[in-house]
Amino acid sequence: MMTLVAAMVQIVGEKGVFADAKSIGVFSKDAYYYSPVLKSLLGDKQADLVVAPQTVEELQQVVRYAAQHAIPVTLRGAGTGNYGQCVPLHGGLVVSTHRMNRILEFDGKTGVIRVEAGTRLGQIERYARERGWELRCYPSTWATAAVGGFVGGGFGGVGSIRHGVLWDGFLKSITVLEMTAEAKLHKLEGHDIFGFIHAYGTSGIMVELEVNLAPAVSWEEAVLSFPNYEHALRFSYQLALDTGEPKRLISLHEWPIPSFFKPLVDSGGVEEGRAVVLLEFAEGRTPAVAEKALPYGGKLTYTAPAAVYHKGKFCLTDFTWNHTTLWAMKADPGWTYLQSAFNPEPDAALAQIAELHEFHGDKVAFHHEYIARGGQIQLAALDLIYYQTKDEIYAAIAKREAMGIQVADPHTYFLDADPRWGGAPVLAARAKYDPKSLLNPGKLSNQAVERARAG
């Protein structure tokens, strides 16, 4: 152990090595505690040592040492993932990228920004908006999440209703470091990038990313309250289809979920017993959108002008995507969640919801976001379920799958159990850039090849 510590100190200096038990414990975890199943599986997993390089050259030296000594390496961004993506299953080194956080280059004509992998999305978004650009999509953890971690473990988020998800042009290129004694760098573009999106850092080490930004829009926020979830869903679907109405967020929440959002409750944005839709749309459109909601029983309960976007005590995205689950768990730790793809058509979606209400009783509460992929509207669900045992959770998953609802299981750390993983491109990249399988070992199941073929 002392030999490893001494070697890493020689490479990155004392400030970049974390050998104390507390630091190792912190850097060996992410937000897997959202899942009671993962809490039991991952609670005792930790690295032998944590190292935080500050430059690509330092990272290359760390990789060379690890490759020469067959030491497992797990990359870590900000640790905001929910599936144990950066939890080391077999000890070794956790390599944190938090010191590799520079914005390297920006092209104001094309909106392409080149950044180091540890750069926080909030830093990128603020930098970009000051220059007339913005991120195409980002998770609800945008203020703290690292761009490398988002690409390596995420899917989509705020902005996905407008620009799609990570596979839909988020990146122009990535520079990756191979996990070998040579530690060569490779710049990848086009389809080659797909081997690294949502790959849990198993296929290579991203050190720099060129991110495609979008022209900035002045966004304002609004909450619309509806008498029930059906009315909220029907209105939201029509808004999602309305290409003439620029929007960055359409997030639906069945009662009692809105009651969990304490800052929004305190602001008067939540009414007892009513469903809510949280919205971000172009400046000046609040009156028109609120009028469109009237036939569905919609009522405007909260607004925030574009002038305070991302500047107030909270923004509506703080209650969306998987932050919804966090607020529910704060209110009652008995809640956990699933990730499902519902039929986007309201009649079909409501039939699915009704069947699941019958199955779960009062142990389910629905939360959806509308997104766009390939020009098609999709309905992504992070439905809350009030279960804590593995049998209950997997009975809920089995029910959905029997109904034809695709589930991205958030209660396993196996990458290939998620239907959104890259499949063959990830395995091909892993074979090329990590031939000894030292990167994040254990995150691909024995059935990974078969699942890639089936996908």
- Residues 390-404, mean pLDDT to the nearest whole number: 98
What rounded mean pLDDT belongs to the chain?
97
- Whole-number Å distance between alpha carbons of 196 and 75: 13
Neighbouring-strand partners of residue 226: 275
Q: What stretch of H or E contains 234?
A: helix 229-241
Largest CA distance in the chain: 70
- Residues 324-351, mean pLDDT to the nearest whole number: 98
Percentage of residues of the chain with pLDDT beyond 70: 100
* Cβ contact 415:421 at 8 Å: yes
Confidence class for position 355, pLDDT limits 50, 70, 90: very high
Q: How big, in percent rounded to 5, are the helix, strand and coil portions of the chain?
A: 35, 25, 40
Strand bridging mode 171-177 / 247-253? unpaired
Task: Please report the DSSP string for 150-164 in residue order.
Answer: HHHH----BTHHHH-
- What pLDDT digit, counting tens, does each position of 435-448 carry? 999 999 999 999 98
Question: DSSP strand E in 17-125: where?
Answer: 17-18, 49-51, 73-76, 93-96, 103-107, 112-116
Q: Quick one: which of 14, 34, 24 has its CA closest to 336?
A: 34
Q: What pLDDT, on the 0 to 100 scale, is given for residue 452?
A: 85
- Residues 243-251, mean pLDDT to the nearest whole number: 96
Q: What pLDDT, on the 0 to 100 scale, is given for residue 374?
A: 84
Confidence class for position 1, pLDDT limits 50, 70, 90: low
- Whole-number Å distance between alpha carbons of 426 and 428: 5
**In angstroms, what CA-CA distances link 161 with 240, 242, 243, 320?**
7, 11, 10, 13
Q: What pLDDT, on the 0 to 100 scale, is given for residue 312?
A: 86
- Residues 409-414, mean pLDDT to the nearest whole number: 97
Question: DSSP strand E in 15-102: where?
Answer: 17-18, 49-51, 73-76, 93-96
Confidence class for position 289, pLDDT limits 50, 70, 90: very high
Positive or negative: CA dihedral 170, 248, 143, 91? negative
Q: What stretch of H or E contains 347?
A: helix 346-360
Whats the size of the chain, residue-wise? 455
- Residues 87-107, mean pLDDT to the nearest whole number: 98
SS3 351: helix
CA 107 to chain centre: 26
Q: What pLDDT, on the 0 to 100 scale, is given for residue 449?
A: 84
Strand bridging mode 93-96 / 49-51? parallel
- Fill in the amino acid letter for 381: A
pLDDT of 2 over the 70 cut: no
* HEC letters along 286-339: HHHHHHHHHHHCCEEEEEECHHHCCCCCCCHHHHCCCHHHHHHHHHCCCCEECC
pLDDT of 420 over the 60 cut: yes
- Fill in the amino acid letter for 152: G
pLDDT of 138 over the 80 cut: yes
- What pLDDT digit, counting tens, does each position of 265-281 carry? 999 999 999 999 999 99
**In angstroms, what CA-CA distances link 376 with 7, 81, 165, 240, 340?**
52, 27, 12, 10, 17
- Whole-number Å distance between alpha carbons of 303 and 221: 6
